[in-house]
Amino acid sequence: MGILKIIEWKDQSRDQIVYKFEYNIKKDFITKGSALTVRETQAAIFCDKGRMADVFLPGFYKLDTHNIPVLTKLMSWKYGFESPFKSDVYFVNTKQFTDQKWGTQNPITIRDREFGPVRIRGYGTYAYRIKDPYVFMTELSSTNSSFKTSDIVSWLKSIIVVQITTILGETMKTKSVVDIASHIAELSDDVKEKLKSKFVEYGLDITAFNFENFSLPPEVEKAVDESASLGILGKNMDTYEAKARADALKAAASNTGSVGGFMGMGIGVQAGQSLGGAFQGGQSNAAAKATAMKENEMSCPNCNAKILKTAKFCPECGGQTGLACGKCKATVPPGTKFCPECGAKIVSGVICPKCKEEAPLGTKFCPSCGEKI
């Protein structure tokens, strides 16, 4: 009878999740003389006739009745672990499996508030690890002698795409597909949180999730480009029309025939009118902006430079543009009689230290008593 002295797994692979310890089941036995070595990022599970039993975390174990209580019960040892036995031993890799790829095999159809139903594709990476080896073996791996990341990659992708579809549907209620790029990090965090609750059902933990790219259909990309072009023109359809007519006039003028000449004249008149209206509209808008700017301006009380009424300090001289409340020290606009913060009376000049009379700003000697201020 052969006695297994050391039960261990020297993991050399990057994608192996579950490994079944191999030994000659016809000759070798597990007994009290056997030792179990479980390395870091590993867990070991004893299994009797397809039933999961005791789980061992990283460490060195001398097998006896105390550390295999479940197996003792399953094998009906009345007097404890006394006889050699045969059992399946599985090692589970609990390290992180990083740089796992995901992608949408088929486009995801979502309803965009600007473009209507839109089909988009996406891809990225994620990472996960085995959080509960017992649950994972029970729900997914079972008693397979070997289990790798490739065995569950398609299943994990399907779960990911379902969650992405759900979150995108919720996101598109308030945003457009053109805004996705600026919310990639936020979407990644949302999907990761959604997946955590799903992964834990199978003893898994998702440790990272990232979107790398979203692609839109060509027709939507074209519509986005056209919208951007209109945005550059200020989305002014009159200006856009005038530009189109000017281009047509230029093309017609290049035709020296009589028909081209008459067409050029007709288009020229229309283009001139449209362009004239556009320029007049631009001038009127500029005048309105200038008037509004003047209404919001005032003169600095220190250097007389033109500044905005809302400015607290002059950008030219650095002086304070308002008055300071003597009670709460809040800055108020010139001419204010009472502080809007505390209600105290605002002193617009300087106070004589001798007679306590108020004098205008810049006064060197008190006009009442002659005291130097």
Q: What is the pLDDT of residues 23-67, one digit of tens each?
A: 876 777 788 778 899 999 999 999 887 788 889 999 999 888 777
Angle at 19 between CA 18 and CA 25, to 5 degrees: 140
**Cα separation of the two ends of the chain:** 112
> Dihedral, CA atoms, 213, 218, 219, 220, nearest 10 degrees?
10
Q: Within 13 Å of residue 71, how many CA atoms lie on the same side as its CB?
A: 28
| Tokens describing residue 100 | 């796992």
The answer to whether 347 touches 332, Cβ cutoff 8 Å, is: no
Q: What is the DSSP letter of 140?
A: I
Distance, CA of 70 to CA of 318 (rounded, Å): 81
**Spatial strand order in the sheet of 59-62:** 6-7, 35-38, 59-62
Q: What is the CATH number of domain 97-220?
A: 3.30.479.30
Q: How far apart are CA 281 and CA 289, in angstroms?
A: 12
Task: Note the helical H segments in the chain.
Answer: 69-74, 133-136, 153-171, 184-199, 218-232, 237-253, 258-295
Q: pTM of whole model > 0.85?
A: no
Mean pLDDT is lowest, of 152-156, 180-184, 325-329, for 325-329
Number of Cβ atoms within 10 Å of the Cβ of 145: 12
Whether the pLDDT of residue 244 is over 80: the answer is no
* pLDDT given for residue 223 in this prediction: 67
- What is the pLDDT averaged over residues 14-18? 90
What phi and psi, each to the nearest 5 degrees, are found at residue 320?
Answer: -75, 130
Tell me which DSSP letter residue 331 carries: E
> What whole-number distance in Å separates Cα of residue 131 and Cα of residue 36?
21
